[in-house]
Amino acid sequence: MATQLVMQAIAKRPRGGRREGAGRKPNGKVAGVSHAARPFHEGAHPVLVTQRFVRDLPSMREPALGAAVAESVRAARSRTFQVIHFSIQGDHLHLVVEAGSKRSLSRGVQGLTIRLARRLNRILGRSGKVFTDRYHARALATPREVRNAIRYVLSNWLKHVDGARGVDPYSSGRWFDGWTTSQPVPDTPCPTARSRTWLGARGWRRRGLISLSERPGKAEEIALSAATRISGLLTE
């Protein structure tokens, strides 16, 4: 009799309403970058930023497109935001930036991506979206973290370009003075700014200069403090 009553109750369950397992998943497990509010930003900590391009664009490692990125990086420099290192890969952009505050960081990256999107669309004769979703960012709170991030950015092409050797021509590595062996410096002005933080200018050097043959680790291997994490895991 009890079993019959239970089966009748299940059969008469009304339609609609909340269903188990339906709706947005907890803990931000949705596609793309989490849209949770970014936590506090400490101005003394450089930030590693990765931004991906939409899929229908050509490789960014072409002379005209690479020059557009460099010009946009230079133009993005302000009193409260600046790019100190960058590299351009085929479908994504890596940056190490400095910002005076959480708001300066957000507005600085936003201004850079808007400026760059306009330049690229003009060159390509197109309109529409250039970047996917929100940018990924992580704060760098120690000399080791900053060194690992610089190595990750400037040597990233060793993972993506077959036969890559030396300095990536599509990066700020050509002007970088932290290589273990001195490199010729281009006659053109450096598009990046000099670091204003102790970590970005001198602190990271305590962990040693960077060799041209030193391959970048995975993004997840960059030792970043949970207390200074800004958002998500970086994609390679």
Segment 175-202, tens digit of pLDDT: 999 999 999 999 999 999 999 999 999 9
Top-confidence residue, 37 or 85: 85
Of 210, 181, 176, the C-alpha closest to 191 is 176
Top-confidence residue, 149 or 27: 149
Percentage of the chain with pLDDT > 90? 66
Top-confidence residue, 147 or 134: 147
Which fold does the domain 41-228 belong to in CATH? Alpha-Beta Plaits (3.30.70)
Full-model pTM: 0.77
pLDDT at 133: 75
Q: Which amino acid is at 95?
A: L
Q: Where are the domains of the chain?
A: 41-228
For residues 184 and 33, what is the distance between their CA atoms, to the nearest angstrom? 39
Q: How many helices (H) and strands (E) does the chain have?
A: 6, 4
72 within 8 A of 108, measured Cβ to Cβ: no
